[in-house]
Amino acid sequence: MQEVLTGKYGEDSKLIYDLADQGGEFLSLRYDLTVPFARYLAMNKISNIKRYHIAKVYRRDNPAMMRGRYREFYQCDFDIAGQYDPMIPDVECVRVVSEILTSLNIGDFVIKVNHRQLLDGLFEACGVPSDKFRTVCSSVDKLDKSPWEEVRSEMVNEKGLAPSVADRIGEYVRLTGKVDLVEQLLLDEFLVAESKSARDGLEAMKLFLKYCTLYGLQDQVSFDLSLARGLDYYTGIIYEAVLLRESIGVGSIAGGGRYDNLVGMFDPKHKNVPCVGVSIGVERVFSVLEARIISSKTKVRTTEVEVYVASAQKNLLEDRMQLCKELWDADIKAEHSYKHNPKLLAQLQYCEEMGIPLAAILGESELARGVVKLRQVATRQEIEVQRETVAEAVRDLLNKINEQS
């Protein structure tokens, strides 16, 4: 229902797709997986859960195919919901992102982190009225794509901040570092004296970075005061993963944070369940991996077929079908031509193109002698095996080929 999404996304709400009214129901397509997850927890009265979810979301935005930005795209979300001690689930989410990106072998990355309470405290200390915190957050969030001068101009001219206020924000949001930056800011008289929220945020960040080190994440995590995240619902730690060297400009490939007040918006008694989670942009990851595969000119197999059943003469379709059945029954991935009388050369060329390691070649004289030829496609080596034990022989040969490579 449309009302599920209303008032959850702030300035991004204009990107929601609505459905036509075809009978009195006002529906929208989901914008992300976080809001539906929060609604699910509230509706089913679930007070703790850890889960992942891969599914499509929809945004009425300008697509950029090459950079993996679509209107209909997949997200992979991982969330931990429940009343727990500070920062323990929060740092696990970062570890999960780190493991995923490392195992994808997608290249060096950094996970930028910041804290909404620190940002709010910073805005407070700089003199931003509290009803403008979220909209100023949206402006700060653009710093990854726009220079400070543009963001400052938006703050002053569109959001109505005094130029001096914007300038004070600007001094902070360009800072990045590690735990030493947290220590330095904790000694910053202006920030810490003016705002309890900033102090709390910094203390939380200090604990978070300590846990990051325990989980082996110290080199991948960067404390970055320009990270703001556009969405309204975050209440604590926020993160965003970016690749250090990628040429196609996908931007961040994962992002998330803590959202402790979202579940309560769907509960009749406004009972909250604290949550923290992260979302990976599947198409962005694919775009980067695809660009890498193309530039490295490595060949990627598009099927897992292990053996191709070929025929050397005409009228052997039924023999091919019979052998395929036996191979399938033995859990071997087999395929044969969909043509009645395919040419042998065409069949063997297909094996080479598709990278199929083995061909089982049926011939009249061989069948008369009760044997079948097995051909290693790469080496063109051929052996004869008994017709009754082809599946076994194929399995042995595949194991041998796998060991060699």
Which residues are documented as binding site?
32-34, 59, 75, 79, 229, 233-234
* Shortest Cβ 318–a second copy spacing (Å): 6
Residue 312 lies near a second copy (rule: CB under 8 A): no
Compute the distance between CA of residue 253 and CA of residue 237 in angstroms, rounded to an integer. Answer: 18
Q: What number of CA atoms fall less than 13 Å from residue 41's CA on the CB side?
A: 26
Q: Nearer to a second copy by C-beta: 69 or 168?
A: 69
Q: Nearer to a second copy by C-beta: 193 or 321?
A: 321
What number of other Cβ atoms are within 10 A of residue 397's Cβ? 21
Instruction: For residue 22, give both structure tokens.
Output: 């075809």
Q: Nearer to a second copy by C-beta: 217 or 231?
A: 217
Residue 314 lies near a second copy (rule: CB under 8 A): no
Q: Nearer to a second copy by C-beta: 18 or 382?
A: 18
C-beta of residue 37 within 8 angstroms of C-beta of residue 53:
yes
List C-alpha distances in Å: 191 to 125, 128, 174, 199, 296.
Answer: 6, 13, 15, 8, 49
Please pick, from the candidates 59, 69, 77, 89, the single residue that binds a second copy as defined by CB under 8 A: 89
Please pick, from the candidates 1, 7, 13, 56, the single residue that binds a second copy as defined by CB under 8 A: 56
In whole angstroms, what separates CA 158 from the centre of its chain?
33
Residue 73 lies near a second copy (rule: CB under 8 A): no
Please pick, from the candidates 4, 10, 12, 29, the single residue that binds a second copy as defined by CB under 8 A: 29
Compute the distance between CA of residue 401 and CA of residue 405 in angstroms, rounded to an integer. Answer: 6
Q: Find the part of the chain contacting a second copy (CB under 8 A) among 76-84, 146-154, 190-198, 222-230.
A: 76-84
Please pick, from the candidates 145, 301, 339, 380, the single residue that binds a second copy as defined by CB under 8 A: 339
C-beta of residue 351 within 8 angstroms of C-beta of residue 337:
no
Residue 55 lies near a second copy (rule: CB under 8 A): yes
* Shortest Cβ 195–a second copy spacing (Å): 27
Closest CA to 35 of 57, 75, 8, 7: 8
- Which amino acid, one-letter code, is at 385? V
Per-residue interface string for the shown chain with a second copy, residues 278-307, x marking contact by CB under 8 A: -------------------------x----
Please pick, from the candidates 66, 84, 157, 301, the single residue that binds a second copy as defined by CB under 8 A: 84
Q: What residue ranges in 325-386 does DSSP mark as E strands? A: 334-336, 358-362, 371-376, 382-386
C-beta of residue 331 within 8 angstroms of C-beta of residue 324:
no
Residue 317 lies near a second copy (rule: CB under 8 A): yes
Q: What residue ranges in 144-247 does DSSP mark as E strands? A: 176-177, 221-224, 237-243
Residue 346 lies near a second copy (rule: CB under 8 A): no
Is 382 in a helix, a strand, or coil?
strand
Compute the distance between CA of residue 307 and CA of residue 141 in angstroms, rounded to an integer. Answer: 53
Q: Nearer to a second copy by C-beta: 88 or 193?
A: 88
C-beta of residue 37 within 8 angstroms of C-beta of residue 62:
no
* Shortest Cβ 353–a second copy spacing (Å): 13
Q: Nearer to a second copy by C-beta: 129 or 328?
A: 328
Q: Which residues of this protein are in contact with a second copy, per CB under 8 A?
A: 17-23, 27, 29, 50, 55-56, 60, 80, 82, 84-85, 88-89, 92, 95, 99, 211, 214-216, 303, 317-318, 321-322, 324-325, 328-329, 338-340
